[in-house]
Structure 1
Amino acid sequence: MNLNCSLNSLHLNRADSNCLNCSDVKRMKPVKLLDRGIVKKVWLVDWDGNEIVVSKLTNPIYQSDFFKNLKNLLEFQSSKMVTKVLGFCGHSIFYEYYRFGNMNNLHSILPKYRLFSFKSKFKFCIDYVQIINFLHQSSMVMSIRGDLVAPEQIIKGNHYDHRIDIWKIPDVCHWIIKDTKVPSFSLKILHWIHGRCKSLQPTLRPDANNVLSVYQIVMYLLP
């Protein structure tokens, strides 16, 4: 597989900026296990003083899915919406390390930067919808995994598509902005667009770009 990746985010002691490969593995020292599942283990490692992430396939049954995910990521490396790939070796893929982790850590991180206002938190609602919009408009179409379930997912054997992601947007945004005072005009607009997102008929839900446009209006109207 031909890779075109950049190591510009790392502090390197070499002139080139080629991808990390098997020759670099011997200088990687495990720091801690970040995650593990049926498909892979994810490690934080130290490589020449740089923190990077190594995702290692643990079940060969899922090899096809593992490398399909890599192919998708590589196709969209120019986008800031996609995790940066630094290289690979065999069944291991090397990624840039994001120290804040995933969005589950949001409410423990924001207080450290004194970000308490609705405006500060609502920016993350916009970021979330921008990511969904990016996925839906690209050839890397996939549903967002998580604990939230749209009605059509409950019925066994029922067909569903990317509109299940739209159903989940209000729940995610409400979680992001919880414990903040929402201006009344913002609340009315959000109540309207979120009501459309929660339509039991999937075809009546707005697409991600529509939701994003409304969110941007809400942000624009904030003082």
Structure 2
Amino acid sequence: MQGRGRSTLPGAARTPAHLVTGPEEPEPVRQPDVDSSLCPFGYFRLGPLKNCSPWLSCEAINTEVRKLKCVGEGAVKKVFLSEWKENKVSLSQLANSELKDDFLHGLKMMKSLQSKYVVKLLGYCEKQFTILTQYHPLGSLKSLNEMLDLPRYKGLNTWHRRFMLAIDYVSIIHYLHNSPLGTLVMCDSNNLDKVLSQYLLTSDFHVLVNDLDALPLVNKSAGRLVKCGHRELQGEFVAPEQLWPYGEEVPFEDDLMPPYDEKTDIWKIPDVSNFFLGHVEGSDIVRFHLFDIHAACKKKNPAERPSAQMVMDTYRKILTLLLREAAMPGTREML
């Protein structure tokens, strides 16, 4: 990457000038508001429909929604590509009756957290353990690299677009940590694959959180901390405070495992962002600029890690800086 007379960040020089002028954050950082933000609580708008419709009831789901095929199955639910009034939709149904409490918790979160960060809720039937949401054909973030390898998306496989996805992800973590319900911890995150499976990639290449089954509430002032499940967690991906602290000589016992707070999500941000950035030209320059904030995220003491707000603000400042430098012809190399 060295030895060029122009910016080392390819593609960014073609960024429209309005994205890189002035002190404000660049426009691509913001997700466009999804339709749900324009409808009152309990209503949605989908596709070409102009009016807000109330969330579909049990009766409407049973009579108006047609299942097409199963497109995914996890521990808690099965997901079916379905059709409603010529719109493709996603129908989730409970897969394991022993996990109905998790399913209902996910539904409660889905209803309460509707925003531009969360997949759009179209309806639900609590007694039949069914949830209807907007369908996103690109699927979960697990398929990101495969999508960007397809000819139709190769033009999006740039450091700029990938970094914007990382900013979307951190913005969602910030939203969960500052949600209308309080500070929520993303517990379904014990390895990278598990994290990626909780989020969807939209057709306009943004990130939405889709799986809200494991979102416990932290309330430090009331002394309320969390534990992600009742089994021993292992590996470097989870935060140090999520590991059994008493050594191999003491058998794991859930009652003895100390609880923790939302800073477990901060520990995981560098690993998830590293996945987003991939190995395209320019991504190493982005990593170089993220080094300090990522080192802070990996502090062993959770209290020393930055808040999601601080990470999000730093990411946005770095994007603005890189776009400005890349848009200026003859910019000296950053490394």
Same fold at TM > 0.5: yes
Q: CA deviation at 1:203?
A: 1.0
Q: CA deviation at 1:44?
A: 1.2
How far apart in 2 are the matches of 1:76 and 1:88?
A: 15
Structure with bigger RCO (C-alpha 8 Å, 6+ apart): 2
Q: CA deviation at 1:9?
A: 0.8
- Match of 1:125? 166
Q: CA deviation at 1:180?
A: 2.1
Label 1:16 to 1:169 Cα distance change in 2 as closer, same or farther (>3 A).
Answer: closer
Q: CA deviation at 1:5?
A: 2.2
Q: Secondary structure at the match of 1:54?
A: strand
1:86 aligns with 2:122: yes
Could you state the TM-score of these two structures normalised by the residue count of structure 2? 0.60
- Match of 2:139? 101
- Match of 2:185? 142
Superposed structure 1 runs of 4+ greater than 6 Å apart: none
- Match of 1:29? 66
How far apart in 2 are the matches of 1:203 and 1:211?
A: 14
Contiguous gaps of at least 5 residues in structure 2 = 1-40, 192-236, 245-251, 327-335
1:169 aligns with 2:273: no
How far apart in 1 are the matches of 2:102 and 2:285?
A: 45
Q: Secondary structure at the match of 1:171?
A: helix
How far apart in 2 are the matches of 1:173 and 1:183?
A: 11
Q: What does the per-residue CA deviation read over 1:152-180, in whole Å, with 9 as the maximum and x for residues that have no partner? A: 21215132221111111111111111212
How far apart in 1 are the matches of 2:52 and 2:279?
A: 48
- Match of 2:78? 41
Paired residues in the alignment total 218
Preserved contact between residue 277 and residue 283 of structure 2 (Cα < 8 Å): no
Could you state the TM-score of these two structures normalised by the residue count of structure 1? 0.87
Task: Map residues 177-216 of structure 1 onto 2, 5 A cutoff.
Answer: 177-182=277-282, 186-216=286-316
Q: Percent identity?
A: 34
Contiguous gaps of at least 5 residues in structure 1 = none
**Counterpart amino acid of 2:239?**
A
- Match of 1:219? 319
Preserved contact between residue 11 and residue 50 of structure 1 (Cα < 8 Å): no
Q: CA deviation at 1:42?
A: 1.5
Greater CA radius of gyration, 1 or 2? Answer: 2
- Match of 2:113? 76
The CA RMSD measured in Å over matched residues stands at 2.4
Q: CA deviation at 1:121?
A: 1.0
How far apart in 1 are the matches of 2:80 and 2:285?
A: 45
Q: What does the per-residue CA deviation read over 1:2-35, in whole Å, with 9 as the maximum and x for residues that have no partner? A: x7121x21456xx872222233323432222122
Task: Map residues 148-159 of structure 1 onto 2, 5 A cutoff.
Answer: 148-155=237-244, 157-159=257-259
Preserved contact between residue 158 and residue 280 of structure 2 (Cα < 8 Å): yes
